[in-house]
Chain A
């Protein structure tokens, strides 16, 4: 499937494609308060529709607390519908935020995409 871009996205650009059984959501830009709702909505919709979802954060430059909450709540939604949800390839700046927040204690974070 060809990646597509959300036309309304201002702060983040989202691409979606399916590879080897994983629905991969690529997120580019800044996940801050302005983008948090869109990010959470996109991830939630994906986990509701696909059994295995990978959020590819390789091109995510920045994540604020609002962005982090969006990821957490999407992971919560994944738990509720028994979908597998993995956060992958965070940039060093984003990984630093994940590490400080201890995010690895509550969700699966991979250095690379699983597919």
Chain B
């Protein structure tokens, strides 16, 4: 089974071109941090409440990225809120996307192509080798949004991470997303981690807007 992080990064790969839709945008990094925290929660390593986060099982998961974050969490008991950890991992500038891509390549789901644009600029592409996993992710997301029932835990998490990454537009068309806006917001609110990710992205957007306004003056 893919990790939440791998599923979100896979969703960001353009099936036709192999290009990355997320292009390592700042907000996406926050969402990927959220995906890692969800993976640790699903593995039974951490638990959260409305504010705090705690390590409940120190044994490694066997996944390189998750274990690095888990070790970091054990080393820093002074950081104990979900918000602290989202900000902390974000500022460590770990290439979560790159690590997930590497893992997807190793699993034979993607391949890696490097070309030159105009003989100078490096262009990286990650064409889909086997689209079974990608289709599975898309179907689960579409079902979670279209249905009025309670989705599986993983699917609730997936919607709440794909939404702030702006990736739901690659699963359903704009009209349908607009029609199901309330449902998406409901699913995104259910988990503390996704609420904090959304707040972190909103704060980042506000800071960037403020900086741009200051420059314009």
Contact = CB atoms under 8 A, between A and B. Distances in A.
Same complex = yes
Interface of A: 32-34, 62-66, 68-69, 72-73, 75-76, 79, 96-97, 100-103, 105-107
Interface stretch (B114-122, B125-133, B144-152, B205-213): B144-152
B186 A72 contact: no
B150 A65 contact: no
B212 to A, nearest CB: 32
A65 B48 contact: yes
Given A101-B189, A105-B186, A106-B190, A66 B150 contact: no
Nearest to A78: B150
B160 to A, nearest CB: 11
Interface of B: 41, 44, 47-50, 56, 149-153, 156, 186, 189-193, 195
B56 A33 contact: yes
Contacts of B191: 65, 101
Given A32-B47, A97-B50, A102-B189, A69 B56 contact: no
Contacts of B190: 68, 72, 101-103, 106
14 contacts: A33-B44, A62-B49, A65-B41, A65-B47, A72-B156, A72-B190, A76-B151, A97-B50, A100-B50, A100-B189, A102-B186, A102-B189, A106-B150, A106-B186
B81 to A, nearest CB: 13
Contacts, number: 56
B153 A75 contact: no
Contact of B49 (A64, A79, A103, A106): A64
Contact of A64 (B48, B151, B153, B156): B48
Contact of A76 (B56, B150, B189, B192): B150
A68 B49 CA distance: 9
Counting chain B CB atoms within 10 Å of each CB, which of A62, A65, A102, A105 scores highest? Answer: A65
B56 A34 contact: yes
Given A33-B56, A101-B190, A65 B44 contact: no
A34 B183 CA distance: 30
